[in-house]
Copies of this chain bind each other. A is one copy, B any other.
Amino acid sequence: LAEKVICFGELLLRLTAPGRELLLQSGRLDVHVGGAEANVAVGLARLGHGTAMVSRVPANALGDAATGALRRFGVDTGGVGIGEGRMGLYFLSPGAGLRPSDIVYDREGSAFALAGPDAWNWEALLDGADLLHLSGITPALGPRSAEAAKAAAAAAKARGVAISFDGNYRAQLWNKWDSDPAAILKELVGQADILFGNHRDISLLLGREFSGDGPERRREAAEAAFGAFPGLKLIASTARHVTDADTHRISARLDGREGWAQTEERVVAGIVDRIGAGDAFAAGILHGMLNGHDLNRTVHAGLALTCLKHSLPGDASLFAERDIEAFLAGELDVRR
């Protein structure tokens, strides 16, 4: 188990229509804390790792609630500062059957997005850290956030702290400002030890396509990435086929420089909440990596956590090691 994994990114509150209703069909909302990096922090904390969130929220009941929710699940929030700006929000109508889930983002002007690279004292925050986890959402939020992401990665690199980077490419965010996503992302991936992303993410980074399909294409893309980014040690990705909003099929893959591991495809039916499944996957992979497990065991932990996440309301995986084990052992009936 890690002593201290730092997750850096925006905290969001998710406001969800209950009971498979459309947003505000009736006047009720359920609130969960979210944000890609925060979900990883919670997921790892529940697996027993020491985790710490670095972010910024406004000085009001919303910021307070978001921070408290992380603390509840064991995440250290000493690095969550208070600053000018709003609480980032998003509104979700969960899908059902042939109706997809629908998200209305309302994150502009957030305290996190308004903070610049100097908002955090990385020297102190990184002290004793095992890993820094970042995602491609932070640099997409605007030039100040892009600088902040680069500053965080540079500080980690300088102190020899390993870096995990989840691509999470969001075109709409990048399109809102005069951005050069490929350049910025390349700089960040260039410092990473582990990358979460599939062949499409790598195409974007390297400006080339990968032909073929399935595992072969993924391996080809991985090898190209390993060539382009000498510090990169692992590339993790999932493949998802969507039957309808309630049933997906998912497999997971983990590429190392020397080899790879690929899981079977699992049918995930009866989906309760699909949001955060990618973050749960990241938590599962990092769990294996931090524990020094091999590629195969690690990729199955990632598959387990992403599959299990679909069964749970809220953005974050709340599962423990025993849940991963039960999943891998095929335990599906009532546990008494």
Residues of B within 8 A of A71 (CB): 71-72, 74
Count chain B CB atoms within 10 A of each CB in A97, A100, A170, A274 and give the residue with the most: A97
- Which residue on chain B has the smallest CB distance to residue A93? B61
Chain A contact residue count (CB 8 A cutoff): 82
**C-alpha spacing A255/B22, complex, angstroms:** 33
Is A332 within 8 A of B245, CB to CB?
A: yes
User: A102 within 8 Å of B by Cβ?
Assistant: yes
Within 8 Å CB of A32, what residues of B?
A: 27
Copies of this chain in its oligomeric complex: 6
Q: Which of A95-144 contact B (CB under 8 A)?
A: 95-106, 108-109
> CA A22 – CA B246 in complex, angstroms?
19
15 inter-chain pairs at a CB distance below 8 angstroms, sorted by A residue, are A13-B24, A24-B62, A26-B26, A61-B93, A62-B106, A97-B272, A98-B266, A98-B307, A100-B331, A100-B332, A100-B335, A101-B335, A103-B336, A244-B267, A247-B269
A residues engaging B (CB < 8 A)?
A: 13, 15, 18-32, 60-62, 64-65, 68-69, 71-74, 86-87, 89, 91, 93, 95-106, 108-109, 170, 172, 240, 242-247, 266-272, 274-275, 307-308, 310-314, 318, 323, 326-327, 331-336
